[in-house]
Structure 1
Amino acid sequence: MDTILGPLYYAVSWIIVQFHSLYSLVFDKNSGWAWGLSIVSLVVLIRICLIPLFVKQIKATRNMQALQPKMKAIQERYKSDKQRQSEEMMKLYKETGTNPLSSCLPILAQSPFFISLYQVLNHIAQGKTVGFIDKELLDSARQAHIFGAPLSVKFLDSASKVESLGATLTDVRVVTIIMIVLMSLSQFYTQRQLMTKNVDLSVKTPFMQQQKMLMYVFPVIFAVIGINVPAGVLLYWLTTNVWTMGQQMFVIRRNPTPGSLAFKQRQDRLRAKGKLKEDPAEVEARKAVEAARAKRQQPKRQTKAKRQVAGTTPAASDAASTDSTTSAADEQKPSLEKKQGESGTDAKAAGGAKDAKAGGKPGQRKSGPQRPKHPSKK
């Protein structure tokens, strides 16, 4: 590996030496500030150079999100023919100009520098010169501590090795644990920010599930790897995570994914400032919705008795209505009987008057020819 990455060792060590010379004008050249800020400046320089790749990563990620429904349809259609499925996928990528590896470009581009810095710090820990770090700079770098932890020590290093560099094992482990936790939290927050604010929630795709899984897997992976890398590399890693988090916050605020929560918030900000040109139909529809909400009447406050009546069950309501009907019928019963009695009396009087006209006594029927009786059969 030294043979392959040898030129990068010289490049990384030269950049660190130049920044160290600059910061030595302000701080002690053997201090952790001079060497630590040199590593941080190395990160900033590399990330500035990687901004074009980061822009390509954003575009590739959005294209992959937009293609997920079509990719899923291809997988369902050719699920029994893997070769045809791969051909259709490559055809789709070619037609849309999408490269699946573009989203990994910043990580792939940083990896050689990360490995080179690891090897440079490892050489410093072993007391070996590397690249442009000669014997004098090697002794200075070995004396540099970050909050009590030498730049070249690891969490798993022995107490004797740590003491040989002028530090204690407790200080080293406390500092490295804090840096690992901050590194993992910054990675988790960056991924969570991407999932909650910059993803089109109207389309449910497998890509979203993958991103959600990575949100929890990456911090664990970083924590496991972090205990076996030097403190200087942890500083590099933490710095690049913080840079990624800030860079992503800027992109999400200024250029969010269409359909995402961040996109809606940006539209609201532009609308409030009068900088958003909207479709007149959308404006009228929004005004109609707001007017309907304004006209909607709020429910009036009811007393406890009314709430209890309103909250009765249908069976109780039926029973109550039945009882009220029965009571009303009972109240009307005497009056009905009285009316019926009066009607009967009137009818009887009318019958008597009719009999009187016929020449008979009241209450008697008019006599008429008698029907002959049939003789009884013997």
Structure 2
Amino acid sequence: MLDFLGQVGHLIMTPLYYAVSAVLVSWHWLLSQIGFDADGGSTWALSIVGLTLVVRAALIPLFVKQIKSSRNMQLIQPRVKELQKKYGHDRERLAQETMALYKETGTNPFASCLPLIVQMPIFLALFRMLDQAAKKQKAHGFLDSDLAKSFGQSKIFDTIPLKLTFLNNDGNSAVMILAAILVVAMTATTFLTQRQLMSKNMPTDAMTGPYAQQQKMLLYVLPVVFAVGGIAFPIGVLLYWTTSNLWTMGQQFYVIRNNPAPGTPAFAAKQKRDAAKGTHTGQEPAATGTTSTATDTVEEAPRAAPRQQPKKQTRQQRKKGGAQRPATNEGDSA
């Protein structure tokens, strides 16, 4: 049974090893070509950062889907509350109606976890590659034995091996310091990203529903999970995860600032910015247009009411009216 599970795991991980090692080795080659030491720790560290950027760029469509689903979850909270009031006594019916609402609005309540779930196999593949390269100089995918040896023995600042962890530091205090800094950065960015979402991009109605409870749980649970697990991660893996968190925080900040959900503090702030920007950039053209309109009105004023021409009359009508008109007018008519 264990052999079967091992074979299944190998089949799953092998494509990931090739994918991760292809990006990692490509960055390593590129950095080596522009003057970095091929066996230097900084070269491999920057290669890990490059791997992170490629992975996160590839996950942008998934992130967009996550944002849309998250926004839908926020906007449908009033309808969810109505369903809870209506079917609160019948849990089965409430679940059915809630799932129907999710399907109608194209909402996935688990979409907020998708980027994290997709990254976990990549994270595991990088962890295994670094661990086995350090211990056995074992090749994986495009990371051959020579590159695996270089990767496993690489050191940042010539003193901090990428393979060591906060707990397994070989008595190297520099490893403990750098690992602690990266763990704190990883935990803080996770907390701030989630906090940013809740404080800026959640409507008031959504702050008390089940979705808000889920977000609050993630706000405090995820940083604790990363902090506890982070002390056992190698420095190289911590670099990957911290860079990924920084990308997530910046990406979310951009989306919330430029495309916030309606009815949120971020939406109100964007409206104020747009109004201020429109006033600042449109003030002079608006004044010019007003002046032009006024001028046109003034110029056309004398022509607004032209003298009416008398209607054509028959000879009999002119004879009847001739006695009633002054002589001057009669002369004019003639």
TM-score by length of 1: 0.67
Match of 2:40 among 10, 15, 31: 31
Kindly indicate whether residue 244 of structure 2 is the aligned counterpart of residue 240 of structure 1.
yes
Q: What is the CA-CA distance between 1:154 and the residue it aligns to?
A: 1.8
Structure 2 CA distance, aligned partners of 1:275 and 1:215?
A: 38
Kindly indicate whether residue 178 of structure 2 is the aligned counterpart of residue 170 of structure 1.
no
Quote the residue 2:233 is aligned against: 229
- The alpha-carbon distance between structure 1 residues 203 and 225, as it changes in their structure 2 partners (threshold 3 A), is closer
Q: Which has the higher helix share?
A: 2
Counterpart contact for 1:19–1:38, Cα < 8 Å:
yes
Structure 2 CA distance, aligned partners of 1:212 and 1:90?
A: 22
Amino acid at match of 1:44: L
Q: What is the CA-CA distance between 1:39 and the residue it aligns to?
A: 0.7
Q: The residue matched to 1:110 in structure 2 has which SS?
A: helix
Show CA shifts across 1:48-94 (max 9, x none): 11111111111100111112222233234333433222211221122
Amino acid at match of 1:42: L
User: Which structure would you say has the larger RCO, counting Cα contacts within 8 Å and 6 or more residues apart?
Assistant: 2
Structure 2 CA distance, aligned partners of 1:27 and 1:230?
A: 22
Quote the residue 1:214 is aligned against: 218
Kindly indicate whether residue 256 of structure 2 is the aligned counterpart of residue 252 of structure 1.
yes
Matches within 5 A, 1:206-355: 206=209, 207-274=211-278
The unaligned stretches of length 5 or more in structure 1 are 160-167, 277-378
Kindly indicate whether residue 92 of structure 2 is the aligned counterpart of residue 83 of structure 1.
yes
Quote the residue 1:134 is aligned against: 144
Q: What is the CA-CA distance between 1:23 and the residue it aligns to?
A: 0.6
Quote the residue 1:290 is aligned against: none
Alignment identity in percent?
50
- The alpha-carbon distance between structure 1 residues 32 and 275, as it changes in their structure 2 partners (threshold 3 A), is farther
Structure 2 CA distance, aligned partners of 1:225 and 1:123?
A: 19
Runs of 4+ in structure 1 deviating by more than 4 angstroms, as ranges, are none
Structure showing greater radius of gyration is 1
Q: The residue matched to 2:254 in structure 1 has which SS?
A: helix
Amino acid at match of 1:135: S
Kindly indicate whether residue 181 of structure 2 is the aligned counterpart of residue 181 of structure 1.
no
- TM-align CA RMSD: 1.9
Structure 2 CA distance, aligned partners of 1:169 and 1:220?
A: 25
Amino acid at match of 1:5: M
Structure 2 CA distance, aligned partners of 1:261 and 1:232?
A: 38
Structure 2 CA distance, aligned partners of 1:245 and 1:149?
A: 27
Show CA shifts across 1:269-312 (max 9, x none): 11112179xxxxxxxxxxxxxxxxxxxxxxxxxxxxxxxxxxxx
TM-score by length of 2: 0.75
Number of residue pairs aligned between Structure 1 and Structure 2: 268
| Stretch deviating more after TM superposition (104-113 or 75-84) | 75-84
Structure 1 CA distance, aligned partners of 2:109 and 2:39?
A: 45
